[in-house]
A and B are shown apart, each in its own frame.
Chain A
Amino acid sequence: MYTDLLDKGYASLRRGDPHAALIRFRHAAESEPERPQAYFGMAMVYLEQDSSDETVTALEKALSVDPSYIPARAYLGVEYLKRYDIARAEEELERALKDEPTNLLAHLKYAEYYYRLGFYHRSVETLERGLKGPHGANEHIVAMARQFLVQARQKSKNIILREPPDPRRWLRLFARFMPRKGDETYTPGKVELS
């Protein structure tokens, strides 16, 4: 019942009937309020309708019933970014990736975050990492990630991004003179007790 309503809701959304989709998602939410998928579906409807406040509310509701629901967290991160709340956006996306390091959707949304900020190379890195791992995502998300990767690569144009060398690397020159961890021959003052 619950899954049927969700499927029908997404089908309505794809057909371009968000009102019908919303009704189905609401029914699904009423039938099983402790499951997050219906709230997420409602968020997708609101997203389609450009209703930012409702989208965030629905995503937060989904997370309140199931904090481990990664898609809601990933989408919420990007919604915060659209509101220019960079810190919260990064926090949500990072947490999504931390909770499920192989989730492709989380990688995709993190890549979108970097893309929107103009860090195309980071976007490419994130997508490549997501696609390389055992993500187990459905083919639609994989296709979307690949399409996004192509566009991000076009933007970053394989430039080697230059940054000043880390001056702390000079400290490594002295590493050879430091006692190695766990190597007892280098431990000064150690007394063997018989």
Chain B
Amino acid sequence: MLVWLLIGCSFMLMLVRIGLPFGIKSEGSVVATVTLTYREKLLLHRTDLYALGALLVLGAIGKWFPTTVELVIILVALALINLPVRYQFTTVGIACNNVLFRKWKEFEYARYRGAKLTLVPRKGFGALPLFVLASRQDEVFPYFQRFLQVRNEAPPKFLKRSVMLWLRRRLSLITLMALFGISLLFLLSACGEGPDPSGLNTAKQSNLTGVSANGTPMTQQQLNTAKSNEPFAYNLALLVDENRLGINFVWTLVTGYLVMFMQAGFALVETGLTRAKNAGHTMAMNFMIYGLGMIGYYICGFAFQFGGVGLVGIPNLGGLSALTKELAIPIGGTNWGIIGYKGFFLNDGSYDVGIAVMFLFQMVFMDTTATIPTGAMAERWKWSAFCVYGFFVSTLVYPVFGNWAWGGGWLSQLGAIGLGKGYIDFAGSGVVHAVGGWCALAGAILLGPRLGKYNRDGSANTIPGHNMVLALLGCFILAFGWFGFNPGSTLGAATNGNLRIGIIAVNTMLAGALGSVTAMIYTWVSGAKKPDIGMMGNGLLAGLVAITAPSGYVSPLFACIIGAIAGVNVVFFAGIIEKVLKVDDPVGAIAVHGVNGAWGQLSVGLFADGLANYGGLQVRGIFFGDPGQLVAQIIGMAVCFVYVFGISWAFFALYKKLFGLRVSAETELRGLDIPEMGSLGYNPDAEFYKPPIAVASSVSGGGE
């Protein structure tokens, strides 16, 4: 109760600093108005913020409130900080919103000391500190000088002492370290919580009713009978369940490791298909998205995506029953999930062996999404903007759509209104690839083409990649990793129809092969009449992307058809994107991942044959008797584009307006390696393209 009182008081104090219901009226006519910046408002509220922060830390240690309440408190505080605060200079005095008015005659002079600005009072009155940053004082002083003398007073002597100076210089570092320490304390405070951190209790009776080896699961009654009549058989069944979970855990983890290795493939493809002068930058983006994305996903991405997946249940990994928080709108007896909210920092009651396996596998999927735009936006993207993007995509873009499709969200519930089995995306043509592709499209449009890419007449100049060996090696690594991506998406290798992993792997390899072959033939018979190495690679990837969603539900023959169409798609749409839409995508990421991701989403609704059975989930496409499934897939495809493109556009546009997305023309022409990263990818060919000396400096006879 006391804590709530303290929090309430803090909020009240924050409010009365900036607004009163019956405010004080200012006198005189207004001379000028100075609106406080965000940093200045932070200074204004700092004492209340310290108090709130301390209460939150103590609350976290003492487990006074759930995480959601803490989040709400933080959001309310942020909202209060964002309310506008204005100083009004009138002919009579100075006012702050409607909470304060002081007359000029109460003050002797205005004193500034470093960053502090104070109105020094006459005898009998109080001083008035003003929250104006040093950088803005030149802007504000002229208003004072009309009414008061402004004096610069040297700081007191003790501040000049070396220790104080040392402290002042390192104040921000000390504050950051303190915050880091407190966060660490908060995280450590919740250690030890969780349904099964030891892994000893994950195998249990309820699992046995949720899985089936031959399509007919055991009933609770049968198990209860066995438990009393045949204790040995019952215990043996639990042992079998633990083994089953062990097999599934190992399978999911190992396939997750394969997917993680795909990062290397992406890095090589993107670096090979861009210019040597940007090799270091492109490689570094692919490298760092792993770390940046993982942190974002660990903090809140996983919680948003899978915070409520336990309500649906993942029997292959022991149910994940701790993840039961999903913000949902109940309509017509169905809970339409919007976003999950459990699993923040893997700490709030989600310290569990099964959840950890799920986190690892899904984290590498998220990283795959996050790395796709780095290709489309390569060779001109500011490093700082890329870092912020890393957090944005891993905390908001991917997890939200992922929740709708995989986390028990509303798209997966479409079956409740008769649309097949709801939106189905086996391994993520939509959730992973289309999300990455549409995000890349928004980013590439807002970033604009590379310098010189388009001539004034609209025709495009080809900018060849610098190393096709790297690019194709990367494609091979990706194809290898895809054997983790698709078969691993069963999240298990035992029971519940998971023996289909072999078919999934075969589908994967066939679609990739057909994609590369059709892309090769298309480029061979058109244009330069030679097979295009880059497009062969992109064709392989297109086939793999397209088969990702349907791989678990189609036969090998349809996998071939899907892959073959994807190979044509990638060449055709790369042309559309470059020549018609005039979007510069150096590596063809939008055509590979966006377009073929959408094709993969659609193909489930066309070709799923209903013969796969994952614990009762049998999906049929329109050619096998279920048109509703196709409608669900079209809805999923459209929602994916609208949501991802929309939110990405908003983010990139806002960032562009506030900070700028793109490097300068000088940096771009010199290559991003040195200006952005401080080191080269390669030494040769990485310097600014200089023409021969004869042309650069010759003046002889130039005039006539």
Contacts and interface: CB of A to CB of B under 8 A. Distances in A.
B695 interface: yes
Interface string A84-97: 11100011001000
A36 B497 CA distance: 84
A144 B695 contact: yes
Contacts of A190: none
A53 B575 CA distance: 42
Contacts of A10: 699-701, 703
Interface of B: 275, 277, 451-452, 455-456, 460-464, 522-523, 526-528, 530, 532-535, 571-576, 578-580, 588, 664-666, 669, 688-692, 694-704
Given A141-B701, A148-B694, 15 more contacts: A13-B700, A48-B699, A71-B702, A84-B664, A86-B451, A121-B462, A122-B461, A140-B701, A148-B692, A151-B692, A162-B462, A162-B535, A165-B523, A167-B573, A169-B526
A159 interface: yes
Contacts of B701: 10, 138, 140-141
Contact of A118 (B463, B698, B702): B463
B574 to A, nearest CB: 4
B703 A119 contact: no
Given A86-B451, A162-B532, A94 B275 contact: no
A163 B460 contact: yes
B575 A166 contact: yes
A75 B694 contact: no
Interface in A140-169: 140-141, 144, 147-148, 151, 159-169
A47 interface: yes
B700 A118 contact: no
Contacts of A122: 461
A13, A71, A162, A164: residue with the most chain B Cβ atoms closer than 10 Å: A164
Nearest to A21: B699
Interface string A62-75: 00000000010001
B692 A147 contact: yes
Given A84-B669, A162-B464, A116 B456 contact: no
Nearest to A155: B689
Nearest to B670: A84
14 contacts: A13-B700, A37-B703, A40-B702, A75-B702, A117-B451, A117-B452, A117-B669, A118-B463, A119-B461, A159-B464, A163-B527, A164-B572, A167-B576, A168-B580
A147 B692 CA distance: 9
Contact of A167 (B452, B461, B528, B579): B579
B277, B580, B698, B703: residue with the most chain A Cβ atoms closer than 10 Å: B703
Contacts of B535: 162, 164
A164 B692 contact: no
Contact of A162 (B523, B694, B700): B523
A76 interface: no
Nearest to A169: B526
Contacts of B690: 116
A117 to B, nearest CB: 4
Given A108-B695, A119-B452, A161 B464 contact: yes
Nearest to A14: B700
A48 B664 contact: no
A41 interface: yes
Contacts of A41: 703
Give the interface size bracket for A toward B.
35 or more
Contacts of A114: 452
Contact of A37 (B530, B534, B576, B704): B704
Contact of A48 (B575, B695, B697): B697
Given A84-B666, A162-B535, A168-B580, A40 B697 contact: no
Contacts of B580: 167-168
A163 B462 contact: yes
B534, B575, B580, B704: residue with the most chain A Cβ atoms closer than 10 Å: B704
Contact of B703 (A44, A112, A147, A169): A44
B15 to A, nearest CB: 50
* A-B interface, 8 closest residue pairs, ranked by CB to CB distance from nearest: A84-B665, A164-B574, A44-B699, A164-B575, A117-B452, A161-B462, A167-B575, A165-B526
Nearest to B668: A84
A165 to B, nearest CB: 4
B395 to A, nearest CB: 34
Given A112-B695, A140-B701, A148-B694, A160 B579 contact: no
A10 B704 CA distance: 11
Contacts of B463: 118-119
Nearest to B571: A164
B456 A86 contact: no
A11 to B, nearest CB: 10
A162 B697 CA distance: 33
A83 B665 CA distance: 9
A163 B534 CA distance: 9
A40 B702 CA distance: 9
A48 B664 CA distance: 26
A164 B461 contact: no
B132 to A, nearest CB: 37
A118 B687 CA distance: 11
A90 B455 contact: yes
Contacts of B275: 118
B571 A86 contact: no
B695 A165 contact: no
A14 B701 CA distance: 10
Contacts of B456: 90-91, 94
A22 interface: no
Contacts of A165: 522-523, 526-527, 571, 575
Contacts of A37: 703-704
B578 A164 contact: yes
A108 B702 CA distance: 11
B704 A138 contact: yes
Contact of B689 (A90, A117, A138): A117
B574, B575, B697: residue with the most chain A Cβ atoms closer than 10 Å: B575
Contact of B527 (A90, A115, A118, A162): A162
A5 to B, nearest CB: 12
A163 B702 contact: no
Contacts of B528: 160, 162
A1 B455 CA distance: 43
A6 interface: yes
A31 B277 CA distance: 49
B572 A167 contact: yes
A105 interface: yes
A13 B699 contact: yes
Contacts of B700: 10, 13-14, 140
A116 B669 contact: yes
Contacts of B455: 90
Contacts of A6: 703
B534, B573, B700: residue with the most chain A Cβ atoms closer than 10 Å: B700
A140 B528 CA distance: 37
Given A47-B699, A117-B451, A166 B579 contact: yes
A118 B462 contact: no
A121 B664 CA distance: 25
Contact of A105 (B522, B523, B696, B702): B702
A75 B699 CA distance: 10
A171 to B, nearest CB: 11
Contact of A40 (B461, B532, B692, B703): B703
